[in-house]
Amino acid sequence: RWNYGRDHLFIGESVPLVLEVFNQEKILLFSDVTVSSPQGGIFEEIPGGGEITHESYGPVTLYSIPVKAYLYTPSKTGRVAIENTTVQSQESSGTAAGFSLTVLPVPEEIMDSGAIGTFSFASSVSPETVEQGGEFSLTMKVSGVGNLNYLQFPDPQITGANLLEKKETSSFVPQFEGYSGSRELVYRLAALSSEQVSIVVPSFVWLDKEQRIKRGVERRFRIRVRP
């Protein structure tokens, strides 16, 4: 069977889908598992696959054994089908029935970021003083657990500087709660004139696991430019 918690989710939300064999009197080893990736999203296996659980009924112990676990992040709204899945062990085989998920639009408050999870957001500039034509950088970093593979950074408003390069680095891994780690986006900029450079980084807004809207603080930076 598939364990998937709920049958509806938001576009861009990373949710776990666990394929398990249940009500077994002994722990099995699986030789062949056929899983088809659903359309319209990112489907990535979670290392480890989860923990074996058991229940006792008098002298009988029955095991539930995870076969595979995945994070699925839908990229469009509508209905998404997860197909029937066949599991083969050395002794027998079985098929988990397919199912469908309903993918909903995100709340309007997080339309720009699409961020769903538990996050922290930080931004900074360096150096804070440059010569005319000199280079400096704006760094934005989001850390936490959630849909790090999908969310978007705020779009900064930059006055008095040219963008030379924009570079993103990431370090996150799939877990049952979502992708855990961080993403960092660096703007390399050059001051245009001898006047101040101003940068506004809008609030980073996200939806937490209790479906509450969270909002970071807008940041304003000034770069002093020497002739």
- pLDDT tens digits for range 140-185: 999 999 999 999 999 999 999 999 999 999 999 999 999 999 999 9
pLDDT tier at 88 (50, 70, 90 boundaries)? confident
pTM, rounded to two decimals: 0.89
181 φψ region: left (φ > 0), alpha (ψ -120 to 50), beta (else): left
pLDDT at 106 over 80: yes
Give me the pLDDT at residue 29, please: 79
Rounded distance between C-alpha atoms, residue 45 and residue 129, angstroms: 46
Residue 102: pLDDT above 90? yes
pLDDT for 220: 97
Q: What would the pLDDT profile of 173-220 be if each residue is shown by its tens digit?
A: 999 999 999 999 999 999 987 778 999 999 999 999 889 999 999 999
pLDDT of residue 157: 97
pLDDT grade for 70, boundaries at 50, 70 and 90: very high
Q: Which residue has the tokens 């280079």?
A: 135
